[in-house]
């Protein structure tokens, strides 16, 4: 019996699928398939690992003339290595995929911020149509404004969510970069670090431009308050603020996604070993928080029938998110230290 047949027989004896065996050896299912078909042979470290995992000797696995299982002298159950090796191909694949998806994810983030703008503008036209254009042609009914505005809002949010889901599905195969301890193969670190340095200037430019847009966006509102401008001007100021914040969100997400792709491989920034563990403990918070914020926005809007002021929930929620996430992380750090 050759090695390929022995591996297959021992796997089936333990009622494991090829994928289950691959997970325990920290390899791909395709590698197990090639072993069992005889297309390739395992490295010596995998031979040793399977010897311990199946409870047989390495001689039994390697020597074709041994037909009877010989128990392994090593009684300890094999544990997959804590470190995940990353090849040049894997690194290039993850970086290239993030580059392709960064623009889509950034556009989705911008759509989320922009989604209330049509509702705000249509609400203004329904109430101040004649003041806005000098004639009644621009005025629309309040019910039409609310219904059409909410329809556009939900469509934009639905498109954004669909983009996020599709991008997340494509990134699943590289999910281990965010969770596991990595060991880059020879030459990989130098390549990744060089690409990060080349991108550094563009990253800084995007962050500075995004922050500047957020600050500038508040200026029209402050000016409207200072000069006691009418409600219509204030409403348009809010719409302009959200539009500029949407552009800023695009820049932040696009640049941040690419920057994170380097940091994941280098295990720097938000992806050090300590922060990876912290992220596991706090991963529940963002999704739950923004679901609550969306619910609050809809409740305020429907109850007050004033979607303009209801939209201010978003910038306030963004500021609170940073503070609350900090509190959640502090609690999580305390629990991690207790576990240690």
Report yes or no: 102 and 260 within 8 Å, Cβ to Cβ.
no
Q: Are residues 57 and 184 in the same domain?
A: no
How far apart CA 30 and CA 199 sit, in angstroms, is 34
If the chain, 340 residues long, is cut into consecutive pieces of 10 residues, what is the mean pLDDT of each piece? 85 88 85 87 83 83 68 44 77 94 95 89 73 50 80 92 93 87 84 93 95 91 81 84 93 94 90 75 77 84 74 77 79 64
Q: Mapping DSSP to helix (H, G, I), strand (E, B) and coil, where does residue 186 land?
A: coil
Q: Are residues 50 and 116 in the same domain?
A: no
Largest CA distance in the chain: 96
Q: How far is CA 34 from CA 5, 31, 60, 72, 262, in A?
A: 12, 5, 20, 24, 32
Residues 262 and 279 placed together within one structural domain of the fold: no
Assess if residue 142 is contained within a domain.
yes
Instruction: Answer yes or no: do 246 and 180 share one domain.
Output: yes
Helix/strand/coil for 43: coil
The answer on 296 and 220 residing in a single domain is: no
Asked whether the beta carbons of 53 and 25 are under 8 A apart, the reply is yes
The predicted pLDDT at position 97 comes to: 95
Q: What is the pTM of this model?
A: 0.62
Residue at token pair 């209801």: 310
Confirm whether 76 is domain-assigned.
no
What's the CA gap between 311 and 101, in Å, rounded? 28
106 and 244 housed in the same domain: yes
The whole-angstrom separation of Cα 82 and Cα 281 is: 19
Same domain, 225 and 151: yes
Q: What is the pLDDT of residue 121?
A: 83
For CA atoms 174, 176, 177, 178, the dihedral sign is: positive
Is the CB of residue 18 less than 8 Å from the CB of residue 25? no
112 and 38 share one domain: no
Domain that holds residue 180: 87-271
Structure tokens at 259: 């920057």
**169 Cβ contact partners less than 8 Å away, ≥ 6 residues apart:** none
Question: Do residues 37 and 147 share a domain?
Answer: no
Domain end (from 271, 294, 316):
271
Helix or strand run (H / E) with residue 182: strand 181-184
Supply the pLDDT for residue 158. 93
Q: Are residues 264 and 280 in the same domain?
A: no
> In this structure, is residue 226 part of a structural domain?
yes
| pLDDT recorded at residue 307 | 65
CATH of the domain at 39: 1.10.260.40
Tell me, yes or no, whether 120 and 222 share the same domain.
yes
Q: Do 108 and 182 fall within a single domain?
A: yes
The pLDDT, as a whole number, for residue 67 is: 64
3-state SS track over 80-114:
CCCEEEECHHHHHHHHHHHHHHHHHHHHHHHHHHH
pLDDT at 81: 46
Residue 77's pLDDT is 41
- Phi-psi region at 329: left, alpha or beta (left = phi > 0; alpha = psi -120 to 50): alpha
**Residue 67 forms part of a structural domain:** no
End position of a domain, from candidates 243, 271, 299? 271
């Amino acid at each position: 019996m050759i090695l390929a047949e022995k591996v297959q027989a021992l796997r089936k004896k333990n009622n494991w699928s090829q994928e289950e065996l691959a997970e325990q050896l920290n390899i791909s299912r395709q590698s197990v398939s090639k072993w069992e078909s005889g297309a390739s042979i395992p490295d010596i470290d995998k031979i040793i690992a399977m010897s311990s995992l199946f409870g047989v000797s390495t001689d039994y696995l390697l020597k074709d003339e041994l037909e009877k299982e010989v128990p392994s002298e090593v009684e300890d159950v094999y544990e997959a290595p804590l470190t995940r090796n990353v090849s040049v191909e894997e690194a290039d694949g993850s970086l290239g995929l993030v580059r392709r998806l960064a623009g889509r994810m950034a556009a989705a983030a911008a759509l989320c911020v922009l989604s209330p703008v049509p509702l705000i503008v249509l609400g203004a036209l329904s109430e101040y149509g004649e003041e806005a254009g000098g004639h009644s042609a621009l005025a629309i009914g309040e019910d039409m404004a609310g219904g059409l505005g909410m329809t556009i809002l939900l469509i934009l949010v639905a498109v954004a969510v669909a983009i996020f889901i599709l991008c997340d599905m494509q990134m699943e195969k590289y999910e281990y970069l965010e969770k596991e301890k990595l060991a880059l193969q020879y030459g990989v670190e130098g390549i990744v670090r060089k690409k990060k340095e080349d991108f550094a200037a563009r990253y800084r430019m995007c962050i500075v431009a995004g922050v500047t847009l957020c600050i500038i966006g508040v200026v029209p509102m402050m000016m409207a308050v200072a000069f006691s401008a009418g409600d219509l001007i204030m409403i348009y100021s809010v719409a302009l603020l959200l539009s500029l914040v949407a552009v800023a969100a695009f820049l932040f997400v696009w640049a941040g996604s690419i920057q994170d792709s380097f940091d994941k491989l280098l295990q720097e920034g938000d992806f050090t070993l300590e922060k990876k563990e912290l992220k596991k403990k706090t991963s529940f918070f963002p999704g739950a928080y923004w679901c609550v914020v969306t619910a609050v926005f809809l409740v305020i809007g429907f109850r007050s029938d004033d979607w303009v002021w209801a939209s201010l929930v978003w910038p306030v929620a963004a500021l609170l998110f940073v503070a609350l996430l900090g509190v959640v992380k502090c609690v999580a750090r305390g629990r991690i230290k207790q576990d240690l």
